[in-house]
Structures are given as structure tokens and as C-alpha cells.
Structure 1
Amino acid sequence: MPISREQLTQAFDQLLEPGRFKDYGPNGLQVEGRQDVRRIVSGVTASRALIEAAIEAGADAIFVHHGLFWRGQDGRVTGWMKQRLALLLAHDINLYAYHLPLDAHPDLGNNAQLARVLGIDPEPAPGGRFGDQQLGLIGVRCEASAQALADHVAAVLGRPVTLVAEPDRPVRRVALCTGGAQGYFEAAIAAGADAFITGEISEPQAHYARECGVSYLACGHHATERYGAPAVADHVARALGLEHQFIDIPNPA
């Protein structure tokens, strides 16, 4: 049986509590589609490739981490924005996007799910959280060296990892924050982490890692954020009796 668009919106909002966060764009329903929803497709980013795959899969709603609208972007509907919106509107598909709320959910969010996938045992809050809006997660995984941790992460995520570290230094306390969270590294150092896992690295972080002795692992923005969206969408779909399919559009970033 289908449910209403309003019921689905309420379910996502109650789970992810977007009102608690200061974010870079609107969270929740970004593009309104048909009223009745039977099938959800989840993915990382609302790219044209994902929208086309969702249309092929017969989706009534798409649930993503990276939506269409961001603070400070050009507001004109041209080029890639026009193409994506045209597809959504022509096929009457609802688009839901949750950014920081999806990162932060303590069980189903990107950080919690990456920790689960990597076998990192999260420390309880509040000590197990760090960084702006307490988005970062700290947990325990004992490895003989930073290189051993990097090899483990690369094997699980299926992609190379950039490691800046003393490779033979043992690791126990691991901080992580998915995606473009390189700015959280100093907070992770202050929180007493032995290693920090995120998606990207910028020039300053290599120096901090060498000077502070805390290992830095850049594991890919997309690769670290593949797990929250399907976990949340599947949880909500099961609760509401809907169909759900995760579609991963490869991205080297």
C-alpha cells in the first residue's frame, strides 16, 4: 500500500531531526513529486545519473546525502541544474536530501555506519563525539600500526587510501568524520585520537599529522559516505511498508 508524501517527510524528519543543525543547504523535501509513494531509491548524490537510474527503477522518491541546493550557489536553473530538475519534474519524483543530519545520526548516519563497516567500536557520548556540532565520532580499533589500519580501510572500501603518519606507530583510538571533514582534524587531535579517518585531505593536514604524531587517512569523499543514505532509507521503508533500493553511482572523489 502506498503512503503519502507528507507521511514520508514526517518519518524522515522525526528520525533525522534537521532542525537541530546549522547546515549548508535545505534538509528534507527539496523537490516535490507525486503524492503517493511506494518505492524509494537511495544514493549518495542527486546526480543526473542517479536520477536516471531511479526513473528506470520506478522510484516515487529519491533519498540522498547531497541534494541540489547549497548556500551561495548560482540560483539560475540552467545547465546541469535544469537537466536534473527537468527529469525529476517530468517523472513526478520526490527528492529528499539530508546533509549534516545524515552524518550525525548515532546509529544510521554516515559516521556511525562507516564505523560499523570498518569494525570501529564507538565510544559512548559525549566523550565519543568531537568537532563542530559534535558531528565527529571516536571509537576503538586496535591495530599494530597506522599502515595496518590504512590497509584494512582500503580493503573494506575498495579504493586506495592516502596515509600521512609514522607508519609503525600503534593505533587504538580512532576519530572519524566522513566526506570533506579535513577541518575536523585539529579537534580530533585535541580529543586524543591516534588516527583520523575522513574523505579528503588539504595541504595543512599533512603538516599537522607529521608534527602532532596523529595519523591522517583520506579515504575518499564518496567512498566514506556510501552507507548512511541506504541505512536510513531502508529503516524508514521497512517501518512504512515501502520498497527500497540503493543505487551506488561510482565516483573517484
Structure 2
Amino acid sequence: MLRTELESYLKAFLNIDAYKDYAPNGLQVEGKNEIQKIVTGVTACQALIDAAIELKADAILVHHGYFWKSEPEVITGFKQKRIKSLLMNDMSLFAYHLPLDGHEELGNNAQLGKLWQLQDITPEPGLVRLGELKQALSINEFVEQVSDTLDRQVLHLPGGPEMVKTVAWCSGGAQGYINQAIDWSADVYISGEVSEQTTHLAKECGIHYLAAGHHATERVGVKALGEHLAEHFGLECIFVDIGNPV
């Protein structure tokens, strides 16, 4: 598949123009024209690049790429090493941030909803989702379910009812959206990270908060996107999980 064809397809499929983001979505580093093998992963760290080089990939597709608005503009230090590694191996880097959180089918949030078997009842468009369990579970049962599906022990900040049924969630560093979950009267809110104030909000507003891991909640979208590309275009897509406890 031509690099330009892949770039155009992903631009339309992920509807990247609909998002005002903190980094460019799409092709961030240009490599060879023909793409057959893609390594997918959460973050374009050096370990992922090294793995892609070892696998002789033509491109890397990630959720967290480069050129964030808050970072220095100069290409020095670790950034220079990463980009040099890509250029020396003629390897493209594609990155999709908010579009890969919000995609209605393959996005992180959509995939998490499927993973936890939640019926989506979100009342309005946006990144934060609201779902309903088929039947109410004790909060301990639900915490165990989330931990098992993500293969990590989540941090539970108690505050809600003993039996839970409505769950709001948003992948990554979205702990600030707990207010949206509170407005929706959700029993539980799940995100990747946690802030000091979250403990107090959960207790005072009657909601359980689960910090399930920024990395853990954002593995599912890019993996699903790679599988989609493999199925539809016959590309070889290999998901490489570079472990991260955060």
C-alpha cells in the first residue's frame, strides 16, 4: 500500500479534522513510499522504534506521537535520537491522539466499552462515554472485572453505592472529566490517571473512581486499528506492547 494512500484513508476514517488536538494527527515522520508491515503501539518511544527496526517494519502507528504543543521545538536529546532512528531506517511514523480516543467503533473508549460489556447510553457527543451493565454488580466485583480485562490492579477510590450499574469512562489522562460523570449520576467513573482532588470528589459526590492506567486504557484502540488495516488491506500489523505502569 502506498504511504500516501494509507495517510488519506486514516485521515478520513478517523475524521481527524473534527478534532482540535495538542499534536498533529497523521503522518509525523515520512519514510518509504510502499508500506506492507506496520508496528502498532501506544507511544513512539525508543523501545518501540527499536522493536520496529528489529521487525523490519515499514511504518509505526501510535496513539502518542511527537510535536506536542507544550514541548520544546528543537530536535535535540532523546527526540533527536528517536527521529534519527526513524529516518535512518526510512520508516514512517503515523500518530493519532484524540481521533483514536473518540472513534465510534475502534477508538479507545469504544473498545473499552466492549471490553467491559457496557451498553452505551451516552446522552451527548463527546469523548466521555456513559454505559450500563446488563445487571448490577457489587463494586468489588466490577473492580475485579476491570482489573482482569486490563491485566493490572486498578486503583479504586470509593464513594458510590455498593451495587453499581451505570459507568462513565474516558481513556488516558481524563480524570478531570469526573465532573461530567457526576452530572450524569453515574455510579462509577473510570479513567487512566488520578489527581489528588479526585479522592475528595469521589467521596463528596457519591461516585466510585477507578484509575485504570493511562497506558492500559489506551492499548485497545491502536491495536484494533492495526487489526482493521490488516483485515481490509492485507497489511501485516504487529502490536508491540512496551509495558508502562502509569
Give me the TM-score of the superposition, normalised by structure 1.
Answer: 0.93
Residue 10 of structure 1 corresponds to 8
Runs (4+) of structure 1 moved beyond 3 Å?
none
1:172 to 147, 165, 178: 165
Identity percentage of aligned residues? 46
Q: Is the 8 A contact 1:143 1:172 kept in 2?
A: yes
Q: Is the 8 A contact 1:12 1:236 kept in 2?
A: no
Residue 79 of structure 2 corresponds to 81
1:103 to 93, 101, 106: 101
Residue 60 of structure 1 corresponds to 58
Deviation at 1:168, TM superposition (A): 5.6
Letter in 2 for 1:70: W
Q: Is the 8 A contact 2:10 2:26 kept in 1?
A: yes
Q: Is the 8 A contact 2:27 2:93 kept in 1?
A: yes
Q: Is the 8 A contact 1:165 1:216 kept in 2?
A: yes
Residue 184 of structure 1 corresponds to 177
Residue 92 of structure 1 corresponds to 90
Residue 144 of structure 2 corresponds to 151
Q: Does 1:138 align with 2:130?
A: yes
Q: Secondary structure at the match of 1:37?
A: coil
Letter in 2 for 1:76: V
Q: Secondary structure at the match of 2:129?
A: strand
Deviation at 1:238, TM superposition (A): 2.1
Listed as ranges, the gaps of 5+ residues in structure 1 are none
The aligned length equals: 245
> Aligned equivalents of 1:17 and 1:232: distance in 2?
14
> Aligned equivalents of 1:72 and 1:247: distance in 2?
27
Letter in 1 for 2:13: L
Residue 231 of structure 1 corresponds to 224
Residue 222 of structure 1 corresponds to 215
> Aligned equivalents of 2:68 and 2:230: distance in 1?
27
Residue 191 of structure 2 corresponds to 198
> Aligned equivalents of 1:157 and 1:5: distance in 2?
32
> Aligned equivalents of 1:198 and 1:14: distance in 2?
27
Cα deviation, 1:154-206, whole Å, max 9, x if unaligned, reads 12211111111147621111001001000110011102211001101101111
Q: Is the 8 A contact 2:161 2:207 kept in 1?
A: no
Q: Secondary structure at the match of 1:25?
A: coil
Listed as ranges, the gaps of 5+ residues in structure 2 are none
> Aligned equivalents of 2:143 and 2:160: distance in 1?
9
- C-alpha root-mean-square deviation of aligned residues, in Å? 1.3
Residue 34 of structure 1 corresponds to 32
